[in-house]
A and B are shown apart, each in its own frame.
Chain A
């Protein structure tokens, strides 16, 4: 079984999480104080660390010894110097991944960053929120999880090729690599993108709308305009010159939003979903976390794993977004932390 040594915070933890589900033996080193997460440490343990073994903070020689016994090291630190201070470059592990906010080189390699700083510098925050109000930072761990997944991909590509290698992965660049069209639109159209609330802006109507018992999001790309008029029971709009094509719908955005809002306001989420399915309209309901946990689709697909925490209580934790050969999601356990590295491998 492949041995993976995981050191660091949420990004390293998510990378290790995928390795666990791919069948690796993952040992996590608790490197001291944890990064502040969006949830309690217990919830984070259940989500990130089930199925791993865990050891406490250890001296540099012990860490080097453990790294030497691993096939892969995933090491996340607060900046480039912090990676160096761990002795990363001296470890003899064949395949090593260093995750830092800005990378191991460059003038900002030792800048400090939390996820909201990376989101801001990466161009995301500028685009989220309402015009005329402060931009919104994306809550949660998108930055760390996405960086981790890219790191996992690169490590496995190297394993596939039998390569020994050392990977330098920056959260900022990971985020920018995933960007939608912010920089190309600036270069090709000379337009700086800004934020428009929940409005997707470039196709109309695409926005959040209130209904009688909650909210729904509708994303009417041009091909869906005709069925959309049926969906809102306003087929005569097909003949309305204000809405003849997407450019015109953009020009008359407010009028079309008002028509749409009025058409949806008195209907329930359930009624709208049924209509959307009938008319083949892209529509999504705003779901609370209770709704997501009770979602019949996720249940039918057996998406949640059963995870037991260190107290023996079982929780439902999301599986990976991909399945190979429809393998069933397994039950896992969060193990109590071992105190020494001896006997780990």
Chain B
């Protein structure tokens, strides 16, 4: 079937019922590794015909055009290498069609709220009957059990419950939220890890699997070292940009408006290298001494960086053996010589929109094969005929009854 690319997951059939960020990103990683992914989309899954507001990432090409639901830049970023099947699961024939697909799929992945699939009559008990070998992955924000299971969960509201907000900030008692919904990409990577783990388990032990991933637990897992340190009597707290075991470790102003460079000294060798560049620093300072004098050290470094361009500072320090990098904004990221040399951003999407690539570099993967995000329902006929063997009349009947769509209803 078209859509899949070469890769180690070639031949693995995934039904993608995910939405927003964590789920689609998780599936993108699997699609990049060759899985055959069918995005099973609700008629309004990409929004209505007329958008009430511009999407956060904007429109591909800058304008909504006549089919705004197909040019939402963030949605497109997350949905390469997939086929789109737009199916109304509220209708009996829609659910029957999904169950037929489940019968031949390897994986179904969704990130609805805890009971949503069961309420549609598509809980794991039903799916398992259709295919006992199915890997079913569910990603509710707080999991499907426990006292918080029914809470509304978005990445930004789950984040403070992980403990991270107490560490992120300019100092103790001044918590901050990343405002980047970091719980979602944590869920995404671990969702993909869970799928391959379950597939390997199926290969060795047989049988399908029920896989559950909680965004909340992803965040708490990443706070794990602090949670253990706390049990051991430590008291981890926010120290701004400083680090408990490195000094200096910070972000320093550079020439221009809101331009900065980050640097760190992990050891005495790097400190000495920094001292060779920033001559106002005193070479004979061990880590404990540097930590005691961080205010003064930071001031001297800032005095040196302030009149200089951030990329020049980073180059200069790196050449001297000091870990340093410019605080990049979007244009800097796209222009970075390293990511350009490695072809990380890929312009396979419409309007030559550069999209983040796949960090996995290995033989057998070729971004040149990637296909852009499909239009809503673009592969309705292809999926139903190739995966299920439906004939033209049967597909037509589904379309005529509104089960199968290729645009949001009026």
Contacts and interface: CB of A to CB of B under 8 A. Distances in A.
A66 to B, nearest CB: 23
A271 interface: no
Nearest to B363: A165
Interface string B197-233: 1111101000001111111111011111111111110
B364 interface: yes
A284 B160 contact: yes
B260 interface: yes
B344 A188 contact: no
Contact of A301 (B21, B168, B217, B218): B217
A118 B328 CA distance: 10
B241 A116 contact: yes
A136 B363 contact: no
A324 B194 contact: yes
Nearest to B143: A301
User: Which of the listed residues A42, A114, A139, A192 has the most CB atoms from chain B within 10 Å of its own CB?
Assistant: A139
B405 interface: no
User: Which of the listed residues A133, A180, A317 has the most CB atoms from chain B within 10 Å of its own CB?
Assistant: A180
Contacts of B82: none
Nearest to A161: B8
Interface in B175-205: 175-182, 185-194, 196-201, 203
Contact of B223 (A44, A105, A152, A292): A292
Contacts of A152: 193
Contacts of B355: 183-184
Contact of B53 (A126, A186, A245): A245
Contacts of A199: 179
What bracket does the count of chain A residues touching chain B fall in?
35 or more
Contact of A161 (B9, B192, B201): B9
Given A103-B338, A166-B362, A292-B220, A188 B211 contact: no
A321 interface: yes
Nearest to A159: B200
Contacts of B203: 160
Nearest to B262: A120
Given A125-B251, A184-B58, A185-B73, A284 B159 contact: yes
Given A126-B327, A177-B358, A317 B228 contact: yes
A206 interface: yes
Lowest 9 CB-CB distances: which A-B pairs, in order?
Answer: A188-B58, A186-B330, A284-B157, A36-B245, A120-B262, A321-B218, A161-B8, A189-B58, A181-B57
Interface of A: 18, 22, 33, 35-40, 42-44, 46-47, 102-103, 105-109, 111-114, 116-130, 133-142, 145-147, 149-150, 152-154, 156-161, 163, 165-170, 172-174, 176-190, 192-202, 206-208, 215-219, 221-222, 224, 245-247, 276-277, 280-293, 295-298, 300-301, 303, 315-326
11 contacts: A22-B200, A134-B241, A139-B238, A141-B222, A142-B186, A150-B359, A160-B203, A177-B358, A181-B56, A185-B73, A217-B159
